[in-house]
Amino acid sequence: MRKRARVIYNPTSGREILKQKMVDILDVFEQAGYETSAYATTAAKDSAKNEARRAAEEGFELIVAAGGDGTINEVVNGIAPLKKRPKMAIIPAGTTNDYARALHIPREDPVEAAKMVFKKQTIHMDIGQAGDNYFINIAAGGLLTELTYDVPSDLKTVFGYLAYLVKGAELLPRIKPIQMDLKYDGGEFKGKASMFFLALTNSVGGFEQIVPDASLDDGKFTLIIVKTSNLVEILHLASKVLNGGKHVDDPRIIYKKVRKVTAKPVNDRMQINLDGEYGGDAPMTFVDLKQHIEIFANTDEIPDRAYTDEIDRIREAEKNFVKGVDKLPDKE
């Protein structure tokens, strides 16, 4: 039987460009050998999540998440709890498109993004679990994370990432540290911090240097704790991020690779942000699910050290090189 693909798309993403290009998108997956159909998400809660789970349980081999990072998050939440999970493909049409950026999937043309399926390149991606919810890119807590809640959705659509920058400038003077208790692999932080976040990729809010050494499938989050809440110091840290990721060794930052984190508030309420949306209040435990979902990616463009399949190939090549050198005759 022919393989089946289900395109789950947000009809309002990217100025409705997905609706305009849907016939061409479906044709791409048909050419790739999939009997393909589409589902337009609705305003109903968990629309994309429920459809992704239904399609997976019915045996679809591929689910395509088309829309912003929120749509991708919902699709992942639909299939992540299942024992048998279909492959995924990504067609970005949102504001920042962090996930597509990390996977080097074209972000300007949805048809070109769909064509990634022809390359037959995939990565078994890590995802994060936070209680009963899952996230693909970041989990965060602290007052600084309120930024994404405060940007109206229509403003995001019209002005894109500029909306976040404008709102961020307004919010920064109101930031204050809160008492946190964060337990992680072999360590603990107790004290005041303006925020913490756990990153799964190198692309956070459109910036690629916040986690310069991110790995997509090593089973570990990058934990970053920002201890300062001073406006000038935060701006200084931001400049170090943009200047080649030099913030990682700054004493105002804790930067760790971890598999599991438990976050507890001490005095103040701590809201948790999962992929840019409210995900509940702490206390909460976060676990990295190693290589949990296979996703089409442009691995030709992803740095070799960013995923273990390529690392394994490099190590094998290194071993073979050493063996070859050992077999060379001694120079007399």
- The percent of the chain in helix, strand and coil, each rounded to the nearest 5, is 35, 30, 30
For the chain, the residue count is 332
Those residues with Cβ within 8 angstroms of residue 66's Cβ, 6 or more apart along the chain or in another chain: 7, 8, 9, 10, 13, 18, 25, 90, 91, 93, 110
Contact 66, 91 (CB under 8 A): yes
Q: Which of 61, 146, 208, 277 is catalytic?
A: 277
Q: How far is Cα 45 from Cα 65, in angstroms, rounded to an integer? A: 17
Q: How far is Cα 195 from Cα 167, in angstroms, rounded to an integer? A: 17
HEC-encoded secondary structure of 12-70: CHHHHHHHHHHHHHHHHHHHCCEEEEEEECCCCCCHHHHHHHHHHHCCCCEEEEEECHH
Q: How far is Cα 173 from Cα 192, in angstroms, rounded to an integer? A: 17
Closest by CA to 143, choosing from 107, 194, 97, is 194
Q: How far is Cα 180 from Cα 145, in angstroms, rounded to an integer? A: 14
Active site residue 277: yes
Q: How far is Cα 130 from Cα 66, in angstroms, rounded to an integer? A: 24
Q: How far is Cα 107 from Cα 130, in angstroms, rounded to an integer? A: 28
Q: For the residues of 66-113, what is the DSSP string, one character each?
A: EESHHHHHHHHHHHTT-SS--EEEEEE-SSS-HHHHHTT--SS-HHHH
Q: Say which residue the tokens 């890590």 belong to.
A: 126
Q: How far is Cα 101 from Cα 186, in angstroms, rounded to an integer? A: 32
Catalytic residue annotation: 277
